[in-house]
Amino acid sequence: MELKRPKKTTLEDLSKAIKDITHSGQKGINQLELDKIINLCKISEKYVQQAYHLIISDLEKNHSEIRYSAFQLCDDLFRRSSCFRSLIVSDMQHIFELSLETNSAKPLPQPRSRAIELKRLALKAVYQWHHLYGKEYKKLAIGFSYLQRCKKVDFSNFTTVDAVTHFDIERSRRQSLINEERKKKILVEIKDMEPEIRSSIKSLSNCINLLIPEPDHFFINENDFSEMDNTYRNNIFKAYENKHIVDEECIEEGESSSWREVGMPNLNHSVQLLFTPSKTIEINETTENSSILENAKGFIKLINNRYMPSVNSWIQSLTLLSGSQDEIKQLLDTKEELQNLLRKYNNLNIHTYDEVSTDSELEEVKESHIKEIVYKKRKTSCEDAWRIQSDNISKETKQSEHISSNSNQNEAQRSTSKEVKLDRKKKLLSVAPKRPYDIDLYHWEDPLLPTPTMIPVNAEGSRFWASTCDELNEVPVPGGSTSLRTRVIEFTGKFEPITHTCRAPLPSGKLCPRKDKFKCPFHGAIVQRNDFGQCTNPEDAERLALLAEKQQKETPDWQDPILLKEIEAQTGLDLKIPEKGKRKTKRKYPGLTDVKAKHNNTTNRLMRKVFNRSSVRKVATSLDKFDRRRFKDKFGDNFNYVYDK
């Protein structure tokens, strides 16, 4: 049985009903229009195919509200018609791109809020389609598994990972792999350098212990030391008992002398020693410890230049890469050991030794002998000079007295004349007009001043780009050379600040705070008003009343803007009378959000005009023409430019 060709009127009705639903801008579907589409699709499969193509064309529109309504209609028809299901399943990938944003290069259009709702609606619909018809249509099941595995769609709460979030997750995964590789390299480097660092620490500590030995390194047993002390005391007491006392009156003196003989003071005598250790330890370099100091310097250089920077970088890297606490703690202990060794070495004040040359050929001259020779020579020369100097002093004193008297008189005269000139100069400068240095003063005394020329600019007002180099014919400046010697000083008068305000009553109950000189752009000519906004001059009050009556006659009472807003809110009709000279533009689909209004700003409008293709082409041709002329004048005789046009 052949299918009948659909009539033209029914196709128009179908397209009109689909367009009314998709371009309404509402979240729900109009049930009357939906019933009309279903009844038309029941007539024949040709209408189903036509409805499919119309819905797909609406899904391709660059507006999320149109796509949202079109997908709602698509979901309803998918559940009702098997023909529509087969058409949708055959083009499943394209529908996923238009509704689920599976292709990151083709994101969902504005408005963004409706785009998010569209994605959620599509996920719910695909989940229900798979649950109902997944066994019948293999391609639908494959698409569902693709969304679940590749696009990481969570169908439990109907959320998907967008392109930006997916990119961030992938980038963080790659960064974690890179961090793991860096951590492994650092641990291998630590394992390789750890024995070397440990041996250097041990060697340097041994060098410092050899230079500055500690009491613990002598292995002295305290028990042996106490036994030696007791035997020594017993011997002293025995010697004291065997000694005879000669004089009873000097018992104390005898006791002290007996203790001194054996090298011990009185037992009752106590001595307090105040020991203040210095931070620095003085060490003199000798032939015995020079090799130890040289080795210590080498280890210190290794620690400063190699080990410490490496340990610091390892600690910093492992901290950033979230290394284990044991590894970081081990590195911190190593760093502390190195710092302690550096501190101990820096506390050593090492004095190097210099071998003094003992040459037997050089004889030492005594200082006393040199002084005697110099004294004798000075004595003879001073006696001769004293006679000559005494004669010259008397002559010089007379001349200096005469010169000083004359100089004092001249200086007094000069100072008075300078003061008079300075006073006169100050008075003249205070009266003289002050002008900044400009081009007229630069050419003031130039007798051979040439006439200045200029290149005319033929700018057209009909385009934004204009070439300034169409013709290089120079024209003399009006006024000639005299224009360079003259200066025009514009007199603007004295600035007088505006103190009065408009003070016209506003709808909020306040007064207009604008400070215009003569006319307020909102309330007309400024007149004198009191604190309540009323005119103080009766003539101004009459004139303003006449203007208000004239405006009221021109505009009727029902054109009150507050009343018009209330009527529009209740009925949805805009009853405002259009102003003269202004054409009211009627939107084709008023229910849709105007996406272009966001981009229709001043900057974009100017960019569309300035960077228009025809404007840029005109600029390019004029600039090429100028460059061609300039290079022809400079390099026209060269062989390379002979055949250039």
Q: Is the pTM of this model over 0.75?
A: no
**Residue-level pLDDT at 220:** 52
Residue 537 DSSP code: S
Handedness of CA 607, 611, 613, 619 (dihedral sign): positive
Share of the chain above pLDDT 90, in %: 2
The lowest-confidence range among 63-72, 125-134, 143-152, 568-577 is 568-577
How confident is the model over 370-397, as a mean pLDDT?
Answer: 46
The lowest-confidence range among 72-76, 218-222, 367-371, 420-424 is 367-371
Each residue of 387-404: pLDDT tens digit? Answer: 544 444 444 444 555 545
Please state, in angstroms and rounded to a whole number, the distance separating the CA atoms of residues 123 and 3.
Answer: 35
How confident is the model over 234-252, as a mean pLDDT?
Answer: 49
Lookup: tokens for 545: 């009343």
Query: Domain boundaries in the chain?
Result: 8-159, 163-212+278-351, 504-549
Q: Return phi, psi of residue 511, to 5°.
A: -110, 150
**Residue-level pLDDT at 511:** 92
Query: β-strand 453-454 against 475-476: which pairing, if any?
Result: antiparallel
Chain mean position to CA 458: 45
**Residue 3 confidence class, pLDDT cut points 50, 70, 90:** very low
Output 428 or 408, whichever has higher pLDDT. Answer: 428
**Residue-level pLDDT at 345:** 86
**Residue 287 confidence class, pLDDT cut points 50, 70, 90:** confident
Alpha-carbon Rg for the chain in angstroms: 54
**Residue-level pLDDT at 370:** 42
Q: Which parts of 382-472 are beta strand (E)?
A: 453-454
Q: Given a cut of 50, is residue 361 above it in pLDDT?
A: no
Q: Given a cut of 80, is residue 519 above it in pLDDT?
A: yes
8 A C-beta contact, residue 449 and residue 484? yes
Q: Distances from the Cα of 27 to the Cαs of 67, 109, 437, 518, in angstroms? A: 11, 17, 73, 54
**Residue-level pLDDT at 622:** 87
Choose among 92, 189, 184, 210: nearest CA to 145: 92
H or E stretch covering 349? strand 348-351
Please state, in angstroms and rounded to a whole number, the distance separating the CA atoms of residues 105 and 58.
Answer: 20
**Residue 377 confidence class, pLDDT cut points 50, 70, 90:** very low
Mean pLDDT of the chain: 75
**Residue 381 confidence class, pLDDT cut points 50, 70, 90:** very low
Q: Given a cut of 70, is residue 292 above it in pLDDT?
A: yes
**Residue-level pLDDT at 514:** 92
Choose among 171, 172, 193, 178: nearest CA to 313: 193
CATH number of the domain at 8-159, please? 1.25.40
Each residue of 525-561: pLDDT tens digit? Answer: 899 999 888 898 889 888 888 888 887 777 777 777 7
Among 2.40.128, 1.20.58, 3.30.70, 1.10.3470, what is the CATH number of 163-212+278-351? 1.20.58
Burial 392-408 (b: 16+ CB within 10 A, else e): eeeeeeeeeeeeeeeee
Would you list the DSSP string of 357-405? P--TTSPPPPHHHHHHHHHHHHHHHHHHHHHHHHHHHHHHHHHHHHHHH
How confident is the model over 3-8, as a mean pLDDT?
Answer: 54
Output 108 or 385, whichever has higher pLDDT. Answer: 108
Each residue of 209-219: pLDDT tens digit? Answer: 888 877 666 55
